[in-house]
Amino acid sequence: MTKRRLPTIVTKEEVRKLISVINCRCMTGKRNLGLILLMYRSGLRVSEAVGLRTSQIQWAEGQIRIVGKGDKERVVPLDYPTIVALRDWKEVKPKGSKTFLCTLEGNPVNPRYVNAMLERYCKRAGIKRVHAHMLRHTCATELLNDDFNIREVQDILGHADIRTTQIYTHVNPIELRGKMKRRVL
Protein backbone atom coordinates (compact mmCIF):
# COMPACT_ATOMS: atom_id res chain seq x y z
CA MET A 1 0.00 0.00 0.00
CA THR A 2 1.35 3.42 -0.96
CA LYS A 3 1.59 5.96 1.82
CA ARG A 4 -0.05 9.24 0.98
CA ARG A 5 1.78 12.27 2.34
CA LEU A 6 -0.19 15.24 3.56
CA PRO A 7 0.26 18.26 1.30
CA THR A 8 2.29 21.09 2.79
CA ILE A 9 0.58 24.35 3.65
CA VAL A 10 1.93 27.86 4.07
CA THR A 11 1.72 29.72 7.37
CA LYS A 12 0.09 33.15 7.57
CA GLU A 13 3.47 34.61 8.51
CA GLU A 14 5.05 33.08 5.39
CA VAL A 15 2.26 34.50 3.23
CA ARG A 16 2.75 37.95 4.79
CA LYS A 17 6.47 37.77 4.01
CA LEU A 18 5.76 36.55 0.48
CA ILE A 19 3.32 39.38 -0.23
CA SER A 20 5.60 41.99 1.34
CA VAL A 21 8.30 41.49 -1.32
CA ILE A 22 5.95 42.17 -4.25
CA ASN A 23 6.58 45.56 -5.83
CA CYS A 24 3.01 46.78 -6.36
CA ARG A 25 4.22 50.04 -7.86
CA CYS A 26 4.93 48.20 -11.13
CA MET A 27 2.32 46.61 -13.39
CA THR A 28 3.56 43.04 -13.07
CA GLY A 29 3.62 43.35 -9.29
CA LYS A 30 -0.04 44.39 -9.28
CA ARG A 31 -0.92 41.45 -11.52
CA ASN A 32 1.15 38.99 -9.48
CA LEU A 33 -0.47 40.09 -6.22
CA GLY A 34 -3.89 39.46 -7.78
CA LEU A 35 -2.77 36.01 -8.96
CA ILE A 36 -1.41 35.03 -5.56
CA LEU A 37 -4.47 36.27 -3.68
CA LEU A 38 -6.86 34.43 -6.02
CA MET A 39 -5.10 31.15 -5.24
CA TYR A 40 -4.47 31.84 -1.55
CA ARG A 41 -7.70 33.58 -0.52
CA SER A 42 -10.18 32.06 -3.01
CA GLY A 43 -8.64 28.63 -3.58
CA LEU A 44 -8.39 28.84 -7.35
CA ARG A 45 -6.30 26.31 -9.27
CA VAL A 46 -3.40 27.95 -11.10
CA SER A 47 -5.09 27.11 -14.43
CA GLU A 48 -8.28 28.83 -13.26
CA ALA A 49 -6.41 31.93 -12.09
CA VAL A 50 -4.40 32.40 -15.30
CA GLY A 51 -7.42 31.52 -17.44
CA LEU A 52 -9.74 33.98 -15.70
CA ARG A 53 -11.51 36.14 -18.24
CA THR A 54 -12.60 39.70 -17.56
CA SER A 55 -16.22 38.70 -18.27
CA GLN A 56 -16.14 36.16 -15.41
CA ILE A 57 -15.63 38.82 -12.75
CA GLN A 58 -18.84 40.11 -11.20
CA TRP A 59 -17.58 43.26 -9.53
CA ALA A 60 -20.89 44.38 -7.98
CA GLU A 61 -21.45 40.98 -6.35
CA GLY A 62 -17.81 40.55 -5.30
CA GLN A 63 -17.52 37.16 -6.94
CA ILE A 64 -16.20 35.31 -9.97
CA ARG A 65 -17.72 32.59 -12.14
CA ILE A 66 -15.20 29.82 -12.69
CA VAL A 67 -15.37 26.93 -15.13
CA GLY A 68 -13.23 24.31 -13.44
CA LYS A 69 -12.29 20.69 -13.94
CA GLY A 70 -14.81 18.66 -15.87
CA ASP A 71 -16.29 21.86 -17.32
CA LYS A 72 -18.19 22.44 -14.06
CA GLU A 73 -19.16 26.01 -13.29
CA ARG A 74 -19.03 27.43 -9.80
CA VAL A 75 -19.31 30.86 -8.20
CA VAL A 76 -16.45 31.85 -5.91
CA PRO A 77 -16.91 34.79 -3.53
CA LEU A 78 -13.97 37.18 -3.19
CA ASP A 79 -12.73 38.80 0.00
CA TYR A 80 -11.96 42.50 0.25
CA PRO A 81 -8.12 42.31 -0.12
CA THR A 82 -8.50 40.21 -3.28
CA ILE A 83 -11.06 42.60 -4.78
CA VAL A 84 -8.75 45.56 -4.08
CA ALA A 85 -5.78 43.78 -5.72
CA LEU A 86 -7.85 42.84 -8.77
CA ARG A 87 -9.20 46.40 -9.10
CA ASP A 88 -5.66 47.80 -8.89
CA TRP A 89 -4.63 45.49 -11.74
CA LYS A 90 -7.77 46.34 -13.74
CA GLU A 91 -6.73 50.02 -13.70
CA VAL A 92 -3.39 49.33 -15.43
CA LYS A 93 -3.86 46.08 -17.37
CA PRO A 94 -3.52 46.13 -21.16
CA LYS A 95 -6.82 47.06 -22.76
CA GLY A 96 -8.45 44.64 -25.15
CA SER A 97 -7.22 41.43 -23.53
CA LYS A 98 -10.04 39.04 -22.73
CA THR A 99 -7.77 37.26 -20.24
CA PHE A 100 -7.88 39.25 -17.01
CA LEU A 101 -4.49 38.41 -15.49
CA CYS A 102 -2.51 38.75 -18.70
CA THR A 103 1.05 39.60 -19.68
CA LEU A 104 1.97 43.19 -20.49
CA GLU A 105 1.39 42.28 -24.15
CA GLY A 106 -2.15 41.09 -23.34
CA ASN A 107 -1.44 37.36 -23.66
CA PRO A 108 -2.44 34.75 -21.06
CA VAL A 109 0.14 34.11 -18.31
CA ASN A 110 1.77 30.68 -18.57
CA PRO A 111 1.07 28.50 -15.49
CA ARG A 112 4.80 27.64 -15.31
CA TYR A 113 5.52 31.36 -14.94
CA VAL A 114 3.40 31.41 -11.76
CA ASN A 115 5.55 28.80 -10.01
CA ALA A 116 8.77 30.47 -11.21
CA MET A 117 7.46 33.82 -9.95
CA LEU A 118 6.57 32.27 -6.59
CA GLU A 119 10.04 30.75 -6.33
CA ARG A 120 11.66 34.17 -6.92
CA TYR A 121 9.44 35.85 -4.33
CA CYS A 122 10.11 33.08 -1.77
CA LYS A 123 13.86 33.48 -2.16
CA ARG A 124 13.51 37.24 -1.77
CA ALA A 125 11.29 36.78 1.31
CA GLY A 126 13.60 34.18 2.86
CA ILE A 127 10.87 31.54 3.21
CA LYS A 128 10.52 27.91 2.11
CA ARG A 129 9.67 27.21 -1.52
CA VAL A 130 5.97 27.70 -2.18
CA HIS A 131 4.26 26.43 -5.31
CA ALA A 132 0.85 27.49 -6.57
CA HIS A 133 -1.03 24.39 -5.44
CA MET A 134 0.18 24.89 -1.85
CA LEU A 135 -1.76 28.16 -1.81
CA ARG A 136 -4.95 26.25 -2.70
CA HIS A 137 -4.34 23.73 0.10
CA THR A 138 -3.66 26.58 2.50
CA CYS A 139 -6.89 28.31 1.48
CA ALA A 140 -8.90 25.16 2.24
CA THR A 141 -7.31 24.77 5.66
CA GLU A 142 -7.77 28.43 6.58
CA LEU A 143 -11.42 28.37 5.49
CA LEU A 144 -12.07 25.47 7.87
CA ASN A 145 -10.19 27.27 10.64
CA ASP A 146 -12.38 30.33 9.95
CA ASP A 147 -15.53 28.24 10.62
CA PHE A 148 -16.52 27.40 7.05
CA ASN A 149 -17.90 23.87 7.03
CA ILE A 150 -16.46 21.12 4.83
CA ARG A 151 -19.34 21.38 2.30
CA GLU A 152 -18.78 25.12 1.88
CA VAL A 153 -15.07 24.53 1.35
CA GLN A 154 -15.92 21.80 -1.18
CA ASP A 155 -18.10 24.26 -3.13
CA ILE A 156 -15.47 27.01 -3.10
CA LEU A 157 -12.75 24.63 -4.32
CA GLY A 158 -15.03 23.00 -6.89
CA HIS A 159 -14.49 19.41 -5.78
CA ALA A 160 -17.00 16.82 -7.02
CA ASP A 161 -16.10 14.45 -4.18
CA ILE A 162 -15.91 15.65 -0.57
CA ARG A 163 -13.11 13.13 0.08
CA THR A 164 -10.87 15.24 -2.13
CA THR A 165 -11.67 18.28 0.01
CA GLN A 166 -10.75 16.30 3.13
CA ILE A 167 -7.28 15.65 1.66
CA TYR A 168 -6.89 19.39 1.08
CA THR A 169 -7.66 20.41 4.63
CA HIS A 170 -5.22 20.20 7.50
CA VAL A 171 -6.08 20.10 11.15
CA ASN A 172 -4.01 22.56 13.15
CA PRO A 173 -2.47 20.47 15.97
CA ILE A 174 -2.23 23.48 18.31
CA GLU A 175 -5.95 24.27 17.86
CA LEU A 176 -6.76 20.59 18.31
CA ARG A 177 -4.87 20.45 21.62
CA GLY A 178 -6.67 23.61 22.80
CA LYS A 179 -10.06 22.12 21.96
CA MET A 180 -9.20 18.89 23.78
CA LYS A 181 -8.19 20.86 26.88
CA ARG A 182 -11.53 22.75 26.87
CA ARG A 183 -13.63 19.56 26.84
CA VAL A 184 -15.60 18.94 30.00
CA LEU A 185 -17.06 15.78 31.46
DSSP string covering the chain, please? -PPPPPPP---HHHHHHHHHT--TTSHHHHHHHHHHHHHHHH---HHHHHT-BGGGEETTTTEEEEE-GGG-EEEEE--HHHHHHHHHHHHHSPTT-SBSSB-TTSPBPPHHHHHHHHHHHHHHHT-----HHHHHHHHHHHHHHTT--HHHHHHHHT-SSHHHHHHH----HHHHHHHHHH---
Examine residue 4 and state whether it is found in any structural domain, yes or no.
no
Q: What pLDDT does 26 receive?
A: 96
Find the catalytic residue in 16, 69, 151, 177: 69
Examine residue 87 and state whether it is found in any structural domain, yes or no.
yes
Could you confirm whether 131 is annotated as catalytic? no
Could you confirm whether 41 is annotated as catalytic? no
- Is 123 a residue whose pLDDT tops 60? yes
Burial class (CB in 10 A: 0-12, 13-18, 19+), 154: buried
- Is 2 a residue whose pLDDT tops 60? no
pLDDT band at 160 (very low <50, low <70, confident <90, very high): confident
pTM reported for the whole predicted model: 0.88
Examine residue 185 and state whether it is found in any structural domain, yes or no.
no
The domain total for the chain is 1
For residue 136, the enclosing domain spans: 12-177
- How many Å apart are CA 164 and CA 161, to the nearest integer? 6
Is residue 97 a contact partner of residue 109, using CB atoms and an 8 Å limit?
A: no
- How many Å apart are CA 87 and CA 23, to the nearest integer? 16
Could you confirm whether 170 is annotated as catalytic? no
For residue 81, the domain's CATH number is 1.10.443.10
Could you confirm whether 74 is annotated as catalytic? no
Could you confirm whether 159 is annotated as catalytic? yes
Examine residue 92 and state whether it is found in any structural domain, yes or no.
yes
Segment of 85-89, 137-141, 166-170 carrying the highest mean pLDDT: 85-89
pLDDT tens for each residue of 20-55 = 999 999 999 999 999 999 999 999 999 999 999 999
